[in-house]
Amino acid sequence: MTRGEEARQLGRIAVGAGVAGAVGAIGAALGAGFVVLLKRQAAHARAVIGKPFGEIAPLADKVYKKKYGDRVELLLLGDSIAAGLGAEDADGTLGARLATGIAKKTRRAVRLTTAAKVGSESWMLPEQLMSLLPSYRPDVAVVIVGGNDVTHRIPVSDSVRHLTETIEALRVRGAAVVVGTCPDLSALRALPQPLRSLGARASRQLAAAQAEAAHGAGAYVVSLAHVVGPFFITNPDEMFSLDRFHPSAVGYKRTAKAMLPSVLAALGVRDQVPFGHQAPTRP
């Protein structure tokens, strides 16, 4: 799915959510005007976002810090953020940043495997997992998904069901799981108001549901809206890539640093996790 299509879908969400509210509150005439406004805003967002990076993220899969030995198997599942779209090269992706961080903290080599795909929704997570060899056993899996569920208006209940099933399947493989919840779309300055606010509300609702489901399913949970969202809001020029939609290499570096405490806790390297993180309720 292209960035323009994502923006178009977000416009559709806003139309669906906004018309009902406008009609109920201020009448059908103003509701129709609101629809026109949102359609114009979505068209503007498509033009602004574009797709300067295409549809394929840099391939970062390899063994990091081979000299350390005693390898950690790191798996990334999810959407374009998990895949690293927006980074200028492989070293700038989220996976590469996490692998490097794990290696430095544990003094162990880390083999990164990225099954995440640009444009993925939660229902695609089982497909990503099935693309791996049945014998593959990750030590820790990081899952980030949800933005495309919001833009495609996927029911929250469906999104969290697929996420929960994926967590359970990963645990069967012996993996500890860390879920980064849906980012807060209010940081997307390319989307004008009120389109941005409607998308933000939907993203927060999904993130809350993801956190509850993942926590109960035995995963560590990292609220991306809390641990990195403020940096994207206050420093958009630095944190976003050229498309103003995906993180830059700096944005991925900050995101990896923020997620690392839960990843290390999942690996048994540390006991406590900071604000914005939740340890699982069951081992």
* Alpha-carbon gap, residue 195 to 13, rounded angstroms: 9
Q: Are strands 277-278 and 63-64 parallel, antiparallel or unpaired?
A: unpaired
Cβ burial of 274 (10 Å; 0-12, 13-18, 19+) is exposed
* C-alpha torsion sign, points 56, 249, 133, 278: negative
The catalytic site residues sit at: 80, 243, 246
* Alpha-carbon gap, residue 15 to 204, rounded angstroms: 18
Q: To 5 degrees, how large is the angle CA 175–CA 181–CA 183?
A: 145
Locus of tokens 């990195």:
228
Closest to 138 measured CA to CA, from 107, 162, 114, 105: 114
* Alpha-carbon gap, residue 25 to 22, rounded angstroms: 5
Strand ranges inside the chain, DSSP E:
63-64, 72-78, 110-114, 140-144, 176-180, 220-222, 277-278
**What are phi and psi for residue 66, nearest 5 degrees?**
-55, -35
* Alpha-carbon gap, residue 263 to 283, rounded angstroms: 15
User: What would the two tokens of residue 105 be?
Assistant: 């903290």
* Alpha-carbon gap, residue 176 to 170, rounded angstroms: 8
74 near 138, Cβ under 8 Å? yes
